Amino acid sequence: MFNLKSKVAAITGGGSGIGRAIAELFAMQGAEVSILELNIAGGEDTVKTIHSKGGKGKAFACNVSDQRQVKDVLSNIAQGSGRIDILVNCAGISHIGKLESTTEEDFDNIFKINVKGVYNAMAGVIDQMKAQGGGVILNLASIAGSMGIADRFAYSMSKGALISMTFSVARDYIKDNIRCNCISPARVHTAFVDGFLAKNYPGQEKVMFDKLSKAQPIGRMGKPEEIAALALYLCSDEAGFVTGTDYPIDGGFIKLNN
């Protein structure tokens, strides 16, 4: 089950965190993985790990907010591999602040990466997927996109837009055999979380880490590998009946936190 042999997967943001975990797992399951990454060193490091385990992977320098660049990279992948079976949109940035503390520059930057970046990547594969008879698109959203999270005004906006785009693409291309879903994690322990705590709570990292962990009823943050496991299912043939769905993976945050 969950065999991705002969599948070609393009993954944005595959150089770190959840994107890296997904890239490595997909390669382990037989996919030929192409990573689109602004931090090309991170992307190449993921590819190095993939190769060390006998998998197939390539890294491409790419700014997802630049539509021409995204389309050129995806076109090169399709030409080189003959197809793109899977697109996973992991590239994204965060922002802390409520409405009054979010500047226009902050808002535009979040939109440019988290919303337009996903739009650019989906637009870059849709014709290829239609021509080859189908494909799978998976977007990394957040529980912030469907419920109120304090001090996450712009970030929540971007993830809510991403969920809506997922539903729209699933509806519009269902007859083209293209499935589109999204995953909405709660807090996941990545290097980003450690950096955030070190920057904003110097000397209090452990206390704040425990506090953030306990915000999930299950009592801890998620692991990138756990998100990757759900991504593998949704992008595999075993999920052939699943489309137009937002999957929370949140340690009980949405339903049990009341």
Kindly list the catalytic residues: 155
Query: How far apart are the C-alpha atoms of 25 and 55, rounded to whole Å?
Result: 10
Is the distance from CB of 36 to CB of 73 less than 8 angstroms?
Answer: yes
Residue in this structure with the two tokens 């980003």, named with its chain if needed:
192
- Here the tokens at position 27 are 């390669």
Q: What CA–CA distance (Å, rounded) separates 71 from 52?
A: 29
Q: What CA–CA distance (Å, rounded) separates 234 from 181? A: 8
Residue identified by tokens 């030409």 is 79
The token pair at 140 is: 């990394």
Distance CA 183, CA 23 (A): 16
Q: Which helix (H) or strand (E) holds 119?
A: helix 116-132
Rg (CA), the chain: 18
